Amino acid sequence: MEKIAYIALGSNMGDRELNLLRAIAEIGKLPTCRVTGLSPFYETSPVGFTDQSPFYNAVLRLSTGLSPHELLYHLQQIESSVFRRVRSAPDGPRTMDLDLLLYGEEVVDTPDLIVPHPRMAERRFVLEPLCVLAPGLKHPRLEKTIVELLAGLKSDETVTEI
């Protein structure tokens, strides 16, 4: 049975726009997966470790027959195999970051995967593009829509549509 998943994409190294486009193509090639929606691209200020280049971010909607853990595995394979990502510094620079934000209405809480993504409601660079795709979508834990989460967000992040 297919589920709808939302995936955040981010890049601040190399050709950021090309990196996002390449990641979208790679995700679209996953077994039993089909990209069904894509937000605009945004240039965003870094969060956490701020002494780095701005990011390009987007969110895509994916119809998938993969389980949440299988999907996470494939996303991490794309990060490491295609983009040569090495996880060295949390919130540090990266050619590609792929985060599984939501997987249907499911709540997953295991040592290697938490869905909904635990910090998505605190990040304008996630909520702005997600709001374009699914403003009325409810966060399974917080019981608020994406548009409500965005309206209540206290953040000094800059997020500019490209």
Q: For residue 87, indicate whether it is catalytic.
A: no
| Token pair listed for 3 | 């589920």
Q: Which of 16, 61, 97, 123 is catalytic?
A: 97
Which residues lie closer than 8 Å to 100 by C-beta, 6 or more apart?
5, 6, 7, 68, 71, 72, 75, 113, 115, 117
Clarify whether 94 is annotated catalytic.
yes
Sign of CA dihedral 45, 51, 53, 57: negative
**Catalytic residue selected from 61, 99, 123, 124:** 99
Q: Which of 16, 61, 94, 124 is catalytic?
A: 94
Selecting among 51, 84, 109, 112, the annotated active-site residue is 84
Q: Is 34 a catalytic residue?
A: no
Residue 99 is among the residues annotated as catalytic for this protein: yes
Question: Which residues have a catalytic role annotated?
Answer: 84, 94, 97, 99
